[in-house]
Chains A and B, each alone.
Chain A
């Protein structure tokens, strides 16, 4: 048994260097060289200003923008420094109260008919960059009114920014909220 103490210690140290330093640093070097944009967190810039990451949702509250899904991160929604879901179970009264408040707010804002589920539920990460095409459509009239633009123009923009499954199979339909809102701002100019 004592004869095995040396291999235990030496291999732990050597393999720590190989798998814990050489491996991640090699991937960092290769990743930074081959896929620099992705390796540096898919930053989105407007001019020289970083306005976000194309993968990470951000909060929008103004009527002139499309809103993202509710977020459970704390202390603020879409805190990209501390990801979190709500972790509320299906029979939680807290969940029911929260969803009811969201549904009521949407109805008060003029939404007719059943509300898309993603509009009133928090995502797993609290940082979901996407909304469903249905939730985007629900917001077209509000955004059009706030921007004093024809609804058709906004609708066309939503269609252009809707991501469809590849070959009709792989992936889910969705709308990247940041990309859509940037396109909206560009429309105005």
Chain B
């Protein structure tokens, strides 16, 4: 680790921090339906959309109506994306003449992009036409992100309103999230990305004759437009097989900073919006502090593990000064790689600029563990906020048990109904991750996909299901996941991780919105203090740690000690 490395990390995070308030306030206005500086442009467009779709924007929905909206929209998105992929061969903008995507892969990919996971069982430049990349994948980078934002907004409203049943209108919230938040940001970021060197062309490739006289065919395409929304919508589904490690998806250190900034900015600002909406900005900062503390620890842990290097390779006569360079790019260095690796998994992004499979055991443990913690650091756009609110509900409940009072969060009493839903949501992840991992680790079809032997093989499986259920999308890519077994089971894990989480969250919102908001009294446990931040951090780590420690001990932890002992497989 170097001072300059930490300076790069700190300045990137500082830039995010500075953007949190203005963007948070702007989003608050957007979702309150107030006028913003973009209204003259988008207001007529928005109105026309509602008219065409038969939506009455004044009519709000209760939690069931909102949930049905989310589910139906996801089904429609799944069907349209599946169709685009299956009909790829006959659709336009297919300069390479790629055939239709196979049914199991199309299922996996459609689920993956609709659930904001963006797990990729395929290599983009060798599978997807420009039409599929644009009208298929880019679209769902927007819409799955906007859906997450809408759900978080609905949950936030539940803390503001008393004795009501409605949470807002899903179609309006989702459309506004797309038009007013994601689209304008994507246009700016995409253009800056092009200026930094990302290609944006409808050509499929450039054919070069190298200095040694060999023909080199360089895949290219409309990369920047997809990359921008991939980061802003915390999707992570890249244009190329190696994602943001590809020089066209991440040309230099500055595109790397901007990529990390774009990943973090909307999720972090959402937390500020939550504070603003609920009338308690300190609460927003308290949640953001808990996220920030854990994220910085995560970045530091990867940075430390990777600069410590791999002693097995050092013994072969390698200079240890560069750290572990297998699966890393020169232009990002160790600090840029560690920053991206921790942020992409603390968020629900899942893009990579480093091959996670080639990280040192402890360096690889961190991203896996951050996913297993529930991706709340600060998590996916929207999904990070509602995930964190679920943890906050658990934290006030535990605090309530300790002092013997009815737990409250932002003036809403947390009772058995909310607790049941919160537990339901929290237990979905370990069930899907550990259940499927256990199956894959004993079935021949599961073991057939492994590249690495020994404990690293188990890590590949565990990472895959963590990533799918957590809707992250990054991978220990040694695993050959493009098989019917993995495409199907990972698809199911993604669906569980998304929808078996969303439904309880909206049920909590439906329950809270009906309750009276009670003013804080001397018996209220304050939830915007450092004490609560500490408690929240503790709950997140203990919950994650207890659930996954045994599995992690058999994978990355044992591999770390074997590496120190010089054991190979």
Q: Which residues of B, 170-207, contact A by the 8 Å Cβ criterion?
A: 171, 174-175, 178, 183, 186-187, 190-191, 194-203, 205-207
Within the assembled complex, what's the spacing in Å between the Cα atoms of A1 and B240? 39
Select B206's contact among A6, A53, A126, A185, beta carbons within 8 Å.
A53
Least CB distance, A70 to chain B, in whole angstroms: 10
Other than the given A14-B52, A60-B212, 15 more pairs (CB < 8 A) read A4-B171, A10-B52, A23-B183, A39-B224, A69-B330, A81-B218, A87-B478, A90-B312, A90-B359, A90-B563, A91-B455, A92-B456, A93-B568, A99-B318, A171-B252
B322 engages A132 (CB within 8 Å): yes
B211 engages A178 (CB within 8 Å): yes
A58 engages B73 (CB within 8 Å): no
B225 engages A23 (CB within 8 Å): yes
Contacts of A90 in B (CB 8 A): 310, 312, 324, 326, 358-361, 456, 559, 563
Nearest residue, chain A, Cβ from B335: A172
Select A50's contact among B208, B247, B333, beta carbons within 8 Å.
B208
Within the assembled complex, what's the spacing in Å between the Cα atoms of A127 and B247? 7
Contacts A123-B327, A128-B329; A15 near B69 (Cβ below 8 A):
no
A40 engages B357 (CB within 8 Å): no
Contacts A7-B54, A8-B69, A55-B197; A115 near B319 (Cβ below 8 A):
yes
B361 engages A27 (CB within 8 Å): no
Contacts of A58 in B (CB 8 A): 208, 210-212, 214, 216
Q: Which residues of B, 292-319, contact A by the 8 Å Cβ criterion?
A: 309-310, 312-313, 316-319
Q: Which residues of B, 130-160, contact A by the 8 Å Cβ criterion?
A: 134-136, 138-139, 142-143
Within the assembled complex, what's the spacing in Å between the Cα atoms of A9 and B53? 8
Identify the interface centre among A10, A20, A171: most chain B CB within 10 Å of its CB.
A20
Contacts of A16 in B (CB 8 A): 80, 135, 139
Interface residues on A, range: 35 or more
Contacts of A99 in B (CB 8 A): 313, 316, 318
Least CB distance, A14 to chain B, in whole angstroms: 6
Least CB distance, A69 to chain B, in whole angstroms: 8
Least CB distance, A67 to chain B, in whole angstroms: 11
B322 engages A118 (CB within 8 Å): yes
Within the assembled complex, what's the spacing in Å between the Cα atoms of A121 and B5? 21
B319 engages A27 (CB within 8 Å): no
Nearest residue, chain B, Cβ from A118: B325
Least CB distance, A137 to chain B, in whole angstroms: 12
Nearest residue, chain A, Cβ from B126: A82
Q: Which residues of A, 84-108, contact B by the 8 Å Cβ criterion?
A: 84-93, 95-96, 99-100, 103, 107
A32 within 8 Å of B (CB atoms)? yes
A18 engages B253 (CB within 8 Å): no
Q: Which residues of B, 224-241, contact A by the 8 Å Cβ criterion?
A: 224-226, 228-229, 240-241
Task: Fill in one digit per residue for B23-57: 1 if any A CB lies within 8 Å of its CB, else 0.
Answer: 00000000000000000000000000100111100
Q: Which residues of A, 144-189, contact B by the 8 Å Cβ criterion?
A: 165-166, 168-172, 174, 178, 181-182, 185
Select B8's contact among A10, A129, A131, A170, beta carbons within 8 Å.
A170
13 contacts between A and B (CB under 8 A): A7-B53, A7-B54, A19-B142, A20-B135, A28-B200, A28-B201, A32-B201, A52-B211, A81-B219, A83-B240, A85-B477, A88-B478, A185-B211
A139 within 8 Å of B (CB atoms)? no
Contacts of A19 in B (CB 8 A): 138-139, 142-143, 178, 183, 229
Contacts of A125 in B (CB 8 A): 240, 242, 245-247, 329
Contacts of B386 in A (CB 8 A): none
| B-binding residues in A (CB < 8 A) | 1, 4-16, 18-21, 23-24, 26-28, 30-32, 34-35, 38-44, 49-53, 55-62, 65, 69, 78, 80-93, 95-96, 99-100, 103, 107, 113-118, 120-132, 134, 165-166, 168-172, 174, 178, 181-182, 185
Contacts A58-B210, A86-B327; A31 near B194 (Cβ below 8 A):
yes
Select B317's contact among A9, A107, A169, beta carbons within 8 Å.
A107
Within the assembled complex, what's the spacing in Å between the Cα atoms of A12 and B76? 7
Contacts of B325 in A (CB 8 A): 117-118, 121
Within the assembled complex, what's the spacing in Å between the Cα atoms of A57 and B313? 24
A21 engages B194 (CB within 8 Å): no
Chain B residue total in the interface (Cβ 8 A) = 128
Nearest residue, chain B, Cβ from A122: B326
Least CB distance, A23 to chain B, in whole angstroms: 6
A92 engages B568 (CB within 8 Å): yes
Identify the interface centre among A53, A78, A169: most chain B CB within 10 Å of its CB.
A53
Select A24's contact among B208, B225, B318, beta carbons within 8 Å.
B225
Within the assembled complex, what's the spacing in Å between the Cα atoms of A55 and B255? 13
Within the assembled complex, what's the spacing in Å between the Cα atoms of A124 and B225? 22
Contacts of A170 in B (CB 8 A): 8, 253-254, 257
Within the assembled complex, what's the spacing in Å between the Cα atoms of A96 and B482? 27
Identify the interface centre among A7, A34, A181: most chain B CB within 10 Å of its CB.
A7
Q: Could you say which of B104-112, B261-269, B347-355, B416-424 contacts chain A?
A: B347-355
Within the assembled complex, what's the spacing in Å between the Cα atoms of A107 and B317? 10
B247 engages A85 (CB within 8 Å): no
A80 engages B219 (CB within 8 Å): yes
Least CB distance, B337 to chain A, in whole angstroms: 8
Q: Could you say which of B272-280, B391-399, B446-454, B487-495 contacts chain A?
A: B446-454
Within the assembled complex, what's the spacing in Å between the Cα atoms of A51 and B174? 46
Within the assembled complex, what's the spacing in Å between the Cα atoms of A82 and B123? 8
Within the assembled complex, what's the spacing in Å between the Cα atoms of A89 and B317? 19
Contacts of A83 in B (CB 8 A): 123, 125, 219, 240-242, 245-246
B330 engages A65 (CB within 8 Å): no
Contacts of A39 in B (CB 8 A): 194, 199-201, 224
Within the assembled complex, what's the spacing in Å between the Cα atoms of A56 and B198? 12
Contacts of A20 in B (CB 8 A): 134-136, 138-139
Within the assembled complex, what's the spacing in Å between the Cα atoms of A2 and B354? 46
A12 engages B209 (CB within 8 Å): no
B77 engages A12 (CB within 8 Å): yes
Nearest residue, chain A, Cβ from B336: A172
Identify the interface centre among B205, B206, B453: most chain A CB within 10 Å of its CB.
B206
Select B201's contact among A41, A61, A115, A166, beta carbons within 8 Å.
A41
Within the assembled complex, what's the spacing in Å between the Cα atoms of A57 and B200? 19
Nearest residue, chain B, Cβ from A124: B245
Contacts of B313 in A (CB 8 A): 95-96, 99, 117, 120-121
A93 engages B199 (CB within 8 Å): no
Within the assembled complex, what's the spacing in Å between the Cα atoms of A69 and B205? 23
Contacts of A85 in B (CB 8 A): 242, 245, 327, 355, 357-358, 477
Within the assembled complex, what's the spacing in Å between the Cα atoms of A174 and B325? 14
